[in-house]
Amino acid sequence: MAKIFFKSFIYTTLCISLFSCTEECKRLHDIPFDMPVVQLPSIPGREVVLTDFGAVGDGVTLCTEAFAQAFEALEKQGGGRLVVPDGIWFTGPIGLKSHTELHLSDNAVLVFSADQELYPIIQTNFEGLDMKRCLSPIHAEGATDIAITGKGTIDGNGTPWRELKKRKVGDDIWNPTVKAGGVLSDDGQTWYPDEGYKKARLTAGSLNKQADSLDLQEIKTFLRPVMVSLRNCERVLLEDATFQNSPAWNIHPLWCKHVTVRNIQVRNPHYSTNGDGIDIEACENVHVSGSSFDVGDDAICIKSGKDEDGRRYGIPCQNLVIENCTVYHGHGGFVIGSEMSGGARNILVRDCRFMGTDVGLRFKSTRGRGGLVKDIWCQDIYMKDIISYGVIFNLYYAGVAESDKGENGKEDLLPVDETTPEFRDIHFDHIVCSGAKQAIYINGLPELPIRGLDFHNSVFTAKKGAEVHYAQDVVFDNVTVNGKAL
């Protein structure tokens, strides 16, 4: 009898997977490039419950060992689902295994401990560079067929890890933070969690890479991790859950294939430094749909490595469909760059809403990156109350250095080589932007201008229209700003 039930359960699970795949295929229609079917994970139907391994959902009891034992038990059986019941589950890092699913009940809340002893320093990749950072609260490397599902919440407890800029918050946040401990910058305008973080920040400048001479244990807080790190994984599903309050980026699939993200909510405080929503880096065959983002940095971001490290890997981000998503606060709604040294191609963004973001559609890079970005489509994008630019291309990201200026204040032409970023063949159709500082701003490089941009059937309301520098073959077809044709 047990065998019959087990076979029936497996058959039912298989049917659900096939139905889901069919539905996924139906959604992916009218793609302007050859888009492979995005494969969903194959996970056995067996199930275990976290409480079976001694976990207590009281928000106080540390459940790290219970999670480890549960995934180990599933792994020994060939995989399955770990159910996290209603409760507040306080834990250290969780490592996902192949053929397993982390399923959160509706009222399940995972809260990660800020105890740094639980997060060893590992060799990893962050912001496109090989470097050492702390182990991520949720992580997987080289895993196949993994999933995080259910309507529960994953909270990275990021506040004790992050620096805080006074200009970004009011006294209601600034004063309690300063009073609780930590140290201030010399000008009193930035709060750091500890002296080690401050020391690392002073050597890192505007980057997140400290001087190599510093002791990593002393500056461990500065090595804050992304919350969900998925490296070299294949067939990944993130569905329904809420991801919030990450130490750095929220979700970071890196070098992954066949990634499905649907109906998730991603939240970070608006003032969270490096508080990106999802950074899809050097991945292929990705479908993101039905999700919302309200974050402290770029919301939906496409990357492929930075500078020499990115060019050495040479893995482009390709075959992506992002649709029916909403972005509230964020530096950019949809973003490519600035870490794009491996290139990006075959990307469709459609049926999305950006409400109050700093920028709507944001493309950024700089000399030294290299990489080819091409064959990008942005369709049916609706933007309201954009703080700066509706659409921006900036290949002088972080500003034009004085060394780039010639005698007359104009940029010198540099040789075109592998370090020169190239953007071309990018298409916009039916973009509606109601309120922005500027509708369109394009700032290419004189030695390799941006080429092949076309805007069709679009309406902008903005204080300023279009501005184009170092770009060729730019087409405006039935595009208006404040009722006037471009």
Q: What is the mean pLDDT of the chain?
A: 93
What residue type is assigned to position 292 of the chain?
S
pLDDT of residue 389: 98
- Are 421 and 370 a contacting pair, CB within 8 Å? yes
Taking the C-alpha atoms of residue 226 and residue 221, their distance in angstroms, rounded to an integer, is: 12
Q: Which of these ranges, 118-127, 197-206, 266-275, 323-332, has the smallest mean pLDDT?
A: 197-206
Taking the C-alpha atoms of residue 241 and residue 102, their distance in angstroms, rounded to an integer, is: 10
pLDDT at 411 over 70: no
pLDDT at 149 over 60: yes
432 phi-psi bin (left φ>0, alpha ψ -120 to 50, beta other):
beta
What residue type is assigned to position 157 of the chain?
N
370 phi-psi bin (left φ>0, alpha ψ -120 to 50, beta other):
left
pLDDT at 309 over 80: yes
Which H helix or E strand runs over 283?
A: none
What residue type is assigned to position 156 of the chain?
G
Domains of the chain: 47-159+221-485 (2.160.20.10), 163-220 (no CATH)
Q: Which of these ranges, 21-35, 362-376, 397-411, has the smallest mean pLDDT?
A: 397-411
Which H helix or E strand runs over 199?
A: helix 195-204
Average pLDDT for residues 64-73, to the nearest whole number?
A: 98
pLDDT tens digit sequence for 207-234: 899 999 999 999 999 999 999 999 999 9
Displacement of CA 462 from its chain's centroid (Å): 28
pLDDT at 1 over 80: no
pTM of the predicted model, to two decimals? 0.93
What residue type is assigned to position 264 of the chain?
I
Taking the C-alpha atoms of residue 40 and residue 106, their distance in angstroms, rounded to an integer, is: 22
- At 28, is the pLDDT very low, low, confident or very high (cuts 50, 70, 90)? confident
Taking the C-alpha atoms of residue 158 and residue 107, their distance in angstroms, rounded to an integer, is: 21
For the chain, what percent of residues have pLDDT higher than 70? 92
| DSSP count for the chain of H helices, then E strands | 5, 38
Average pLDDT for residues 269-287, to the nearest whole number?
A: 97
- At 413, is the pLDDT very low, low, confident or very high (cuts 50, 70, 90)? confident
Show the CA angle centred on residue 175, arms to residues 170 and 181, nearest 5°.
140
- Are 76 and 98 a contacting pair, CB within 8 Å? no
Taking the C-alpha atoms of residue 322 and residue 278, their distance in angstroms, rounded to an integer, is: 12
- At 361, is the pLDDT very low, low, confident or very high (cuts 50, 70, 90)? very high
Q: In the chain, what is the straight-line distance between the N-terminal and C-terminal CA atoms, in Å?
A: 72
Sheet holding 359-364, edge to edge: 94-95, 138-141, 228-231, 251-254, 278-281, 300-303, 332-336, 359-364, 389-394, 438-443, 464-469
Which residues partner with 144 through β-bridges? Answer: 234
- At 410, is the pLDDT very low, low, confident or very high (cuts 50, 70, 90)? low
- Are 341 and 128 a contacting pair, CB within 8 Å? yes
CB atoms closer than 10 angstroms to residue 2 = 6
Which H helix or E strand runs over 106?
A: none
- Are 449 and 423 a contacting pair, CB within 8 Å? no
Q: What share of the chain is helix, strand, coil (3-state, %, to 5)?
A: 15, 45, 40
Displacement of CA 376 from its chain's centroid (Å): 18
Secondary structure (DSSP) of 360-402: EEEEE--TT---EEEEEEEEEEEEES-SSEEEEEESSTT---G
Taking the C-alpha atoms of residue 210 and residue 143, their distance in angstroms, rounded to an integer, is: 30
- Are 441 and 453 a contacting pair, CB within 8 Å? no
Taking the C-alpha atoms of residue 345 and residue 452, their distance in angstroms, rounded to an integer, is: 14
For tokens 């507040």, what's the residue?
88
- Are 435 and 464 a contacting pair, CB within 8 Å? no
351 phi-psi bin (left φ>0, alpha ψ -120 to 50, beta other):
left
- At 27, is the pLDDT very low, low, confident or very high (cuts 50, 70, 90)? low
Q: Which of these ranges, 3-17, 31-45, 103-117, has the smallest mean pLDDT?
A: 3-17
